[in-house]
Structure 1
Amino acid sequence: MNWADFTSAAPGLAKTVEERFGAFRHHVLATLRRDGSPRTTGLEVRFLRGELWLGMMPGSLKALDLRRDPRFALQANPGPDSAMGGGDVRISGRAVEVVDTALKAAYVEEVEPPQPFHLFRTELTEVVRTYVEDDTYLVVEVWRPGAPVRTLRRT
């Protein structure tokens, strides 16, 4: 499922997630190294035309990781002093490299990234938001394809 599918399935959560990612420019991407260990790196993301896009410098280790194993986790920047206004949000899924020159050219027209670059669109497998409600409850909202948003509350 792409970003548009998620937005249709869970519009409220999708709006909150986009706002959290929109609050800051840089976020944290986790990929898998060749030996299976995790790699975390900074990344800018874009929500355009119903897709969540990941753009990367040519030959970057994160791009090479995703070419080899497309699984990723993406966490929104928590903000200054870890304020996390709007909660902590994370997206997991698979990254698919864009090889279609027309699609990549359309992205370049809108975003104007430094050239050359790797471009990946995402297929979502999970979106999670965690926040504190009324200074009492830890609330976790979880969405997975084909299921409604589950909300868990703990004191």
Structure 2
Amino acid sequence: MTTWQEFADVAPRIAKIFIRRHAATGNLCMLGTLRPDGFPRISPMEPRFFEGQLWIGGMPGTAKFRDLVRDPRFTLHTATVDTQVTDGDAKVWGFVEDVRDEALHQRYAEALFAETGFDLRGQKFENFFAADVVGASAVEVGGDHLDVTVWRVGEAERVIRKH
């Protein structure tokens, strides 16, 4: 499994853009999953970083989480409304692992409460998905060019410049 921290260490340019865009939208991202019929589902969500990992959590019993239980493939795209992409844009994809560690759940709940005031302390988590990042890309616009940075597991981050 490639944790968020491991990904950020080998693909720092993409990670920096993802984190910047994630923060700029109040943590809002668009999650792509696969419906039971194979068609894609796009859902807004607020992934969180905790203990070096990217967590995809939220309201239990939702269609997006049923999708992930059935098929763990996902993509996560930073939300943007800027058609010129002046602040950049990033996406990661891979697989989720449903982590059943109740002590970790409670540490996460404590940190979430301290940071946001949202209280999950003492609750049992139905699903708690860690992202196993296997690929990522980002876009940056500068002057007369567009830089597309791509990364895949086992490869170095590389930049493709388009004029």
Matched, 1:145 2:131: no
Secondary structure, counterpart of 1:140 in structure 2: strand
TM-score (norm 1): 0.90
C-alpha displacement at 1:36, in angstroms? Answer: 0.8
Aligned to 2:112: 111
Measured in 1, the distance between the counterparts of 2:60 and 2:119 equals 10
Measured in 2, the distance between the counterparts of 1:82 and 1:23 equals 16
C-alpha displacement at 1:149, in angstroms? Answer: 0.7
Runs (5+) with no aligned partner, structure 1: none
Measured in 2, the distance between the counterparts of 1:110 and 1:56 equals 15
Aligned to 2:98: 97
Aligned to 1:125: 134
Paired AA for residue 131 in structure 1 = E
C-alpha displacement at 1:70, in angstroms? Answer: 0.5
Runs (5+) with no aligned partner, structure 2: none
C-alpha displacement at 1:15, in angstroms? Answer: 2.2
TM-score (norm 2): 0.86
C-alpha displacement at 1:9, in angstroms? Answer: 1.2
Aligned to 1:59: 61
C-alpha displacement at 1:87, in angstroms? Answer: 0.8
Measured in 1, the distance between the counterparts of 2:14 and 2:46 equals 20
Alignment of 1:20-59 (within 5 A): 20-25=21-26, 26-59=28-61
CA offsets 1:83-103 (integer angstroms, 9 cap, x no match)? 644311111111111211111
What is the CA RMSD across the aligned residues, in angstroms? Answer: 1.7
The structure-2 alpha-carbon separation of the partners of 1:114 and 1:34, relative to structure 1 and needing over 3 Å to count, comes to farther
